[in-house]
Structure 1
Amino acid sequence: MEALRDLFAKKCQEFACEPVSAVIADLSSGTNLTSLQLNGNSKRLFNKRIQYMQVFALCEALYEDTNIVSLDLSYNNLNDMAAQALSRLLKVNRTLCFLNLAGNDLTAIGVNHLIQALTVTGCSLQVLILSGNPLGDDGAVMLGNMLRSNTSLRVLDMSNTSASISGIISVSTALGEANTSLQSLDLGRPMLKGCQDTTFLSLAQMLAQNKTLVSLGLSKHCMVDSNLDTLVTYGLLRNTGLKSLDLSANRLSPFSGPVMERLMNENRQIEEIQLSHNQLGDAGALAVARCLPYTHWLQHLDLRSNGIGEQGLMALAEALSLASHVQSLYLWGNHFGPSSARAFMDTLAATGTGGLSIDLRPYEADGRAQVALLQVH
């Protein structure tokens, strides 16, 4: 590590930039590091975030390194020039497999630089996190085209990158027709003006064809009940590989309850469903509760902030008492009253929490059952 530290300091001198103190400290620790944690929102870098010239120096120092497998450069001040330097690094370094660039200022130009490395035969990068960069629809389309030939990536996070209709369709088409290696994709918070039937039809077609995707993030897609029905009927019920589905912060109403019930009953691979910050209400919760005891494959369910009242919450409490397979259930932000609080108090007292992760703690005060928020990880 000392040799890498000295080389980095030398490269910083050549590029006329100040060495990153966090890098120097980590490489001087005397341990054989496999990762460099240089996220700009950390305490040690918060007021002195990494600039693109420092990335140039770091990349050149890592050209022949065989120890560092993970590089976290999230939340710094990195632009497209930094992406160009990282692209050169990925072309020659066959050890780096994790790269986090979340929360920087990369545009479609920077994506184009990265793609030049990701389409090279022998590229080793497996995880690429680009969330929070203004890639735009052009950048998303480029990533979709890249996925047609790349075979190394296993995880791609494109959430909150200003992708729009063309970008989502490009990515989903690539995963449906060509890519057979990507396992996790996050398309959360695209730049859509209301619900878009074309994107959900494209995603459904992809899900019906793709056999390798394990995790899919579709939060903040302005999804309404009819879109969910399209996704489930033409995609999820024909899919055989997906295990985790994020539908949080959409516009699903109580009318989506029967669709979710059908999905939970008929798709026996999905282990985790995130539905927080929708409006499923009591009717939606009742539909979920009806099938929860029988869906032994479903282990994690998030129903926070869904406008669920006493009736729906009491049904979920009763269902939980018969669903020992559930490992986590999150319900905070719904409308708990004394009856539902008592129902959960009785259920948890009878069954015990055991390995269950739940975000509420029922208690009794002055003879009245109430719930408190319980922090979970």
Structure 2
Amino acid sequence: MATDIVAQLADSLAKAGVEDGELSYKGQGRKLDDAQSVEEIVKEIHDFEGLQALRLEGNTVGVEAAQAIAKALETKSDFKRCYWSDMFTGRLRSEIPPALNSLGDALMLAGARLTVLDLSDNAFGPDGVKGIEKLLKSTACFTLQELRLNNCGMGIGGGKILAASLTHCHRISSAEGSPLSLKVFVAGRNRLENDGATALAQAFQSMGSLEEVHMPQNGINHAGITALASAMQHNAALRILNLNDNTFTEKGAIAMAQALKHLRSVQVINFGDCLVRPAGATAMAETVSEGLPILKELNLSYGEITEEAALAVAQAVKGKDKLEKLDLNGNCLGEDGCMAVKDAMESLNMAEILGTLSDDEGEPEDDDDDDDEEDDEEDLEDVDEEELEEEEEEEEEEEEHGTSKFSTPVSAPRPPDVSSFLSFPSPDKLLKLGANRALLIEQQVDVSDPTKTAEAFLKIASVYKEENRDVKNAVLDSIDALLRKAYSTPSFQGCSFVSSLLVLLGLIKSEDKVKPVLVVPGHLHALEHVVQQDYFPEQSVAVLEAFMSRSNKTLESCGNARHVLQSTLQRVKSES
């Protein structure tokens, strides 16, 4: 009798597995290098009738192994879900695009109609996005509902390729009467910055179908946030918006608050560590008060919000009977302000939903309400250094699970990463990157773009301190690593780099009306070091010497640093 019950249970479980159509090798840590290493997997794929999902997370797949698996997938027309996160550990970046191309080609050949594509935690960079570009544009993705690309290092270039692919897919699928209706988009920790975010915003606006957007830790400033805000207005079903650890400032926060007024389905808002400041928090309070009827979570932690603005937020949640969590930790309330906010929530019988205020920064020493110039990312060089050092990182881990969980991470300060440093340079942040800082920065910057390379050079050089050996060495080591990589890249245009440098230093005018940086002695000290290195071309030394010898008010404030640079340029030129 018991044996029969066990047999029935086993049969039921087996049928459930077949109906679900999922084949899983998740977390097995297999090293799959060639066709021989995946013979078992290939056979099981071949034998699995009605295969709908394949889990390869937590293994490492080489090009030949991917090609063998792809061959097995060519006949699986019922295939829908790719769970392929973290499957290239230890692989060369150059191996990933051909592996992805093979798998994508197989799905297209099979006539698959995907609903889930998860490639998170694969550090494939822009080239990896190219590896799925053809797939994303194909009929296989007309039905795509979830696209998860968290922590892939896409960069601006990858973000633009991704945006163009989604836009193309939406346009073609719409023409065929079945428009792409993506619901979940996850792309945290990808260094998308403003340009990447703006490109994606255009794609989001075209689709208008998003329900979840997770884009934390991408170095996006107010311009990119404003573009995303505009796009969100066109996604009426939006439920979850997680932009944690980007830099809204007042302009971005106000634009986002205005956009959210048009949405009625939002349940989770995570704008923690986004520097929304008092004006932004006040705007959010107004939006919460007037709308967002089913809001469940609101995270405005670590945003330099002061007491008055925090109280406005607390008062705005009155009547929000769905609200489960309000996070205002790590702001600038002061002891009295924290007590006032707690009292306000107590008076609304909502004290239990207020998160801890244990990391409050205390009342600000000065009134920074007039710091509107910080809203413009072109003026970031002028931001007070102490203020920038308060920027901290927060780990995002919610993307691995499905859409049913709404909890966002507890606010937890972390040391700044490379993206944070390049967005808001400071000596302390550079040192906190640790001994591998040069490699981290080298990996962060797209050296195929001379202008981006010049911008990164100036940001690193801006924190140079002649009197501080540790900072000085950190700056020079980082710059050497960056420029050695740039000049050793075949596609890098050295002349364009020098031109961009001269434009950004205000020594020549640009047709694009590029705003020069605020030149500091560190820029010239770093340049003086660079021109003596073997990677720096002789012809570029002559160009710099010509411009540095000209009379220019931009360099007058740099005094001795300019004279030292001129002297070194003349010496290097004469020796060449």
TMscore range, shorter length? 0.7 to 0.9
Is residue 176 from structure 1 mapped to residue 167 from structure 2 by the alignment? yes
- Which string of whole-angstrom CA distances, capped at 9 and with x for unpartnered residues, describes residues 70-97 of structure 1? 5433233333334334423432335554
Counterpart residue type for residue 232 of structure 2: L
For 1:76, the equivalent position in structure 2 comes to 59
Match of 1:110 among 78, 86, 99: 99
Is residue 284 from structure 1 mapped to residue 280 from structure 2 by the alignment? yes
CA distance in 1, matches of 2:102, 2:216: 28
Counterpart residue type for residue 168 of structure 1: G
Shift of 1:262: 0.9
Is residue 266 from structure 1 mapped to residue 262 from structure 2 by the alignment? yes
CA-atom RMSD in angstroms: 3.4
> Is the 1:99–1:129 Cα contact (8 Å) retained in structure 2?
yes
For 1:231, the equivalent position in structure 2 comes to 228
Match of 1:250 among 236, 246, 250: 246
> Is the 1:242–1:269 Cα contact (8 Å) retained in structure 2?
yes
* Equivalent residues in 2 for 1:144-159, closer than 5 Å: 144-149=133-138, 150=140, 151-159=142-150
For 1:6, the equivalent position in structure 2 comes to none
CA distance in 1, matches of 2:213, 2:79: 24
Is residue 323 from structure 1 mapped to residue 320 from structure 2 by the alignment? yes
Is residue 50 from structure 1 mapped to residue 45 from structure 2 by the alignment? no
More strand by proportion, 1 or 2? Answer: 1
Counterpart residue type for residue 171 of structure 1: L
For 2:482, the equivalent position in structure 1 comes to none
Counterpart residue type for residue 67 of structure 2: Q
CA distance in 1, matches of 2:350, 2:110: 49
More helix by proportion, 1 or 2? Answer: 2
Match of 2:42 among 41, 59, 64: 59
For 2:157, the equivalent position in structure 1 comes to 166
> Is the 1:209–1:239 Cα contact (8 Å) retained in structure 2?
no
- Which string of whole-angstrom CA distances, capped at 9 and with x for unpartnered residues, describes residues 324-361 of structure 1? 3434433344346444443454455454559x865449
Change (3 A) 1:202 1:80: same
For 2:116, the equivalent position in structure 1 comes to 127
> Is the 2:59–2:87 Cα contact (8 Å) retained in structure 1?
yes
Counterpart residue type for residue 170 of structure 1: I
CA distance in 1, matches of 2:355, 2:70: 42
CA distance in 1, matches of 2:81, 2:353: 29
CA distance in 1, matches of 2:331, 2:69: 45
Change (3 A) 1:136 1:361: closer
CA distance in 2, matches of 1:202, 1:129: 21
Counterpart residue type for residue 210 of structure 1: M
For 1:98, the equivalent position in structure 2 comes to 81
> Is the 1:272–1:301 Cα contact (8 Å) retained in structure 2?
yes
CA distance in 2, matches of 1:280, 1:81: 48
- Which string of whole-angstrom CA distances, capped at 9 and with x for unpartnered residues, describes residues 150-177 of structure 1? 2243212122222233332232223334
**Which SS does the other structure have where 2:151 is aligned?**
coil
> Is the 1:66–1:95 Cα contact (8 Å) retained in structure 2?
no
> Is the 2:26–2:59 Cα contact (8 Å) retained in structure 1?
yes
Match of 2:217 among 220, 242, 245: 220
Shift of 1:140: 0.9
Is residue 185 from structure 1 mapped to residue 185 from structure 2 by the alignment? yes
- Which string of whole-angstrom CA distances, capped at 9 and with x for unpartnered residues, describes residues 297-350 of structure 1? 462333233233433332222222243343443334434644444345445545
Give the alignment's TM-score, normalised by structure 1. 0.73
**Which SS does the other structure have where 2:298 is aligned?**
strand
Change (3 A) 1:309 1:117: farther
For 1:18, the equivalent position in structure 2 comes to none
- Choose 262-271 or 343-352, whichever is displaced more: 343-352
Shift of 1:252: 1.9
Greater RCO between the two (CA within 8 Å, min separation 6)?
1
Shift of 1:62: 2.9
Change (3 A) 1:80 1:298: farther
Counterpart residue type for residue 153 of structure 2: S
**Which SS does the other structure have where 1:132 is aligned?**
coil
- Which string of whole-angstrom CA distances, capped at 9 and with x for unpartnered residues, describes residues 116-147 of structure 1? 12323531542221112132212213423322
Identity of aligned residues (%): 22
CA distance in 1, matches of 2:208, 2:165: 13
CA distance in 2, matches of 1:280, 1:125: 38
**Which SS does the other structure have where 2:310 is aligned?**
helix
Shift of 1:112: 0.5
CA distance in 2, matches of 1:177, 1:271: 30
> Is the 1:294–1:323 Cα contact (8 Å) retained in structure 2?
no
Counterpart residue type for residue 185 of structure 2: L
CA distance in 2, matches of 1:269, 1:94: 35
Give the alignment's TM-score, normalised by structure 2. 0.50
Consecutive unaligned residues in structure 1, runs of 5 or more: 1-27, 363-374
Match of 2:129 among 119, 123, 140: 140
CA distance in 1, matches of 2:276, 2:169: 36
> Is the 2:285–2:312 Cα contact (8 Å) retained in structure 1?
yes
Change (3 A) 1:264 1:349: same
> Is the 1:153–1:181 Cα contact (8 Å) retained in structure 2?
yes
Counterpart residue type for residue 188 of structure 2: G
Consecutive unaligned residues in structure 2, runs of 5 or more: 1-9, 171-179, 359-406, 410-576
For 1:368, the equivalent position in structure 2 comes to none
CA distance in 1, matches of 2:259, 2:280: 13
> Is the 1:272–1:298 Cα contact (8 Å) retained in structure 2?
no
Change (3 A) 1:335 1:66: farther
**Which SS does the other structure have where 1:139 is aligned?**
helix
